[in-house]
Structure 1
């Protein structure tokens, strides 16, 4: 089942939505079985579509269901085509474009390692407090911060940490849900 805001044909959506290229967050409900992720990623790579972020996790252990959250960029006709092709894959139960569905909640987690002493170390700590980042590891020469938030906020935090001795960065990828009482 393919959902794009409301139950409308893809042709109607293409006419209604702007034709500019923008980022889209797709939520895909699939069977949790070997090879499913490879098939989904293969669909993107085989057609030359880029995946900017990919998050996969089992959401219902008893029914063996997983949720794949994919961030990709494209114009509405391309996104519509991607959604329809995903929907035709056998292990896919539902595809929702959270960007078209409305104001989705989007969060990401990052671990940020900075190294330094003295004033630079103090500045990194002040910035971490301003962004509500937690210290998960500390040595005399470094901190590892954990920050959760909107991707743009994490981008800002990481940009500021470059001046404080950024050493290493790990990001989880986007997790997203539509607002309201309805689920996928």
Structure 2
């Protein structure tokens, strides 16, 4: 079972006005569940419960248990729409997960061993260019994050996507598009004098 359980109810009142009423009057949030072999399903969630889940970085890259009117479904959070000025979520998109179907999801990058790196101890400065990357894998192989090891970097090094070690069964789809998509993830530069 997933570490995150999101409770939801189906909703039949659809449209822009219905979504506004849902957010304003009931403290709810409109959402949709799509993918798999079933039809898309319009949902409503309790806004404060979802905000509590969003405090955890792992929520964005985990298989969630979506409890819809008592029926549990495995899903991932595919997209969030936020208000441009207020700390309010306007809509959430969830994608169903099937054990035998690969999924594409964005996972965070964790830069490890920066404190142990000789280049950084001697005054080098690490700059993180990318903090997350899209991966493709089966649900059972989904990592919470990918590690970028900074232990053996030298001043002037550029760490690329190909330098990110992926667990077995996990690939970075951008790398299949060619060398032009092997973007830099981090750089190590000398401090200015």
TM-score clears 0.5: no
> What TM-score do you get using the length of structure 2 for normalisation?
0.28
> What TM-score do you get using the length of structure 1 for normalisation?
0.29
Higher Cα Rg, which structure: 2
Higher helix share: 1
Higher relative contact order (CA 8 A, sep 6+): 1
